[in-house]
Amino acid sequence: MAYPAMIKSIQCAKRYIVLSSYIFDCDSLGRQFINALAQAHQRGVIVNVLLDGIGIGYSWHKSDQALKKLGVKTARFLPAISLTSIRFINLRNHRKILCVDGEVAYIGGMNLSQNNLIKSAVHPIDDIHFKVTGPVIDQISQVFIEDWFFATRELIQFPRFFFNKSVNTPERKNDKPVVARVIQDGPDEHHNRIRWTLINALVCAKTSVKIMTPYFIPDQVLMTALHSAALRGVAIEIIVPQHSNILFVDWVMEANFSRIIEYGIKIYKNKRPFDHSKIVIIDDIWSFIGSTNWDARSLEFNFEINLECFDTELNAKLTKFFALKKQNATLVIEDEINALPIYKKIRNNLFRLFSPYL
């Protein structure tokens, strides 16, 4: 559902498009975006595409090269091979941003890849992405402006949000305002903002915490915050994939299960092939959506972007989404953990030693 909406917004662009993605595969899906972006450029729309220097390597055929041939301006964030930036090879831009004309934006966890398509992939990846309108778009586009300047030393002027009262689409009639702000993070002046946002939200939790993430390897501070909330009587539920796309990460998560459930926290394993969705829902008001995983790479090394939202209706929709995911998941129980063969316990705990680097 997300990709057609994004492509339609690109096709409707009149002035300016900025797009940032960790992975932008040059496959059947990627070529749809390449064509839409190129067509926008040909009709006079300014287009800037920023891709991560490592993430672009996931595809044998490089989408930025295809875009350049069609005249679209692209840049790589910290190229993988560089005499000046090799020491920063572990610092990646994991953000997924699409902003069009200052009128609509998309953020979340979805890369641009046919692996997310039900008809194209053998084991399609589940994910969730968000369409955003309103003045918070200016905060989203500002993050792109800063990233583009870092990568190119070029300062772009992206249109600011303007509310056009004359536009009265069916979508706008149903829109209700959500109080939201961007929380950006990275190994720069914004370091640890997402970690501290999560910690403070957990401290404020009164009744429930629901977490869905593809990689759940919290550090000791976050784990303590979760345990403290559980000891106060807050009901905490966590959904992770039964099998992620990184085998040794599964082993590390499995090694942590016993200490996670120790204080009544419930953790579920989603039986879908791989679920890449990232959401946090606290009580009936607070939601946290975006690109961040619960691991050291996201919280320490990656450049990330999340939206902190305060709204009961959005919270209710995401709670329903979480409940649907839980229907296809199995609860991790202590007997299951204890029944693991000794060699698996040794293997899992051995890899857990590398948690700060995962």
* pLDDT in the model for residue 355: 85
**Is residue 275 classed as helix, strand or coil in its secondary structure?**
strand
| CA-closest candidate to residue 283, choices 213, 338, 239, 233 | 233
Strand-pairing partners, residue 125, are: 274
The pLDDT tens digits of the residues spanning 268-317 come to 999 988 999 999 999 999 999 999 999 999 999 999 999 999 999 999 99
pLDDT of 61: 72
Q: Do you know the residue count of the chain? A: 358
pLDDT, tens only, 254-280: 999 999 998 999 999 999 889 999 999
**Rounded CA separation 316/173 (Å):** 20
pLDDT at 204: 97
Averaged pLDDT score across all residues of the chain: 92
pTM over the 0.85 mark: yes
Nearest Cα neighbor of 314 from 96, 83, 132, 102 is 132
